[in-house]
Amino acid sequence: MTDRKKALLATLQATKLLCVIRIRSNESLVPLMEALYRGGVNIIEITSTTPRFDLQIRAIREAFSSRPDCFVGAGTILTKNQADLAAQAGADFLVSPIFDEEVFEHCKSLGLPVMPGCMTPSESYRAWKAGADVVKAFPGLVCTPQWFSDIRGPLPMIPMMPTGNVNEITAPQYIKAGAIAVGVGKALASEEEILAHDWAAIEQHAKQYVELLSQC
């Protein structure tokens, strides 16, 4: 395991928070990362549905090259080509909403932390046995805090992180139920706020989530 990979996983467990960004514009996301970072959030996932997602990742890596505690990854990785684009852009990790064995193995071959999406105990266990660094519990409307509590009983060894349905109410519930971290999207940084350049609001959201999860 590389030092960068160790640092990412340690940071994820320590901060318990990852920001998921999915927008339909090619708006620069560097100012967004600056706002999140000021608020205490230093792990961001840019989904492949975001226009030019690989260039966004590259721009953030370059802008934050002097801040090794900032991590940017790629989400919604469904194909080998998307994984390659992300890796070439300097992504620190790869996330998928599904567990496709062929794509997963290719992602692992790139040497990056991989977080496949799973919805059942069997699927989660298979992903973990295959080498998933973190299992993404998705969607959150199905993988509720109660679901987490139930699955952590027989499968406590699997590091899991929910995305979707995560807000200021459910986030601490997930952590208390056994999640190592939560992936928060529009509740932390909405597309409307990003397009309006409302960095102050996003920074404030970040501070609120950091404070909330620090108490868990």
Residues marked as catalytic: 45, 136
Q: For residues 26 and 41, what is the distance between their CA atoms, to the nearest angstrom?
A: 22
Gyration radius of the chain over CA positions: 16
Displacement of CA 6 from its chain's centroid (Å): 16
Beta bridge partners of 21: 46
Burial class (CB in 10 A: 0-12, 13-18, 19+), 215: exposed
Burial class (CB in 10 A: 0-12, 13-18, 19+), 151: buried
What b-and-e string marks burial along 176-203, b requiring 16 or more CB atoms within 10 Å of the CB? Answer: ebbbbbbbbbbbbbbbebbeeebbeebb
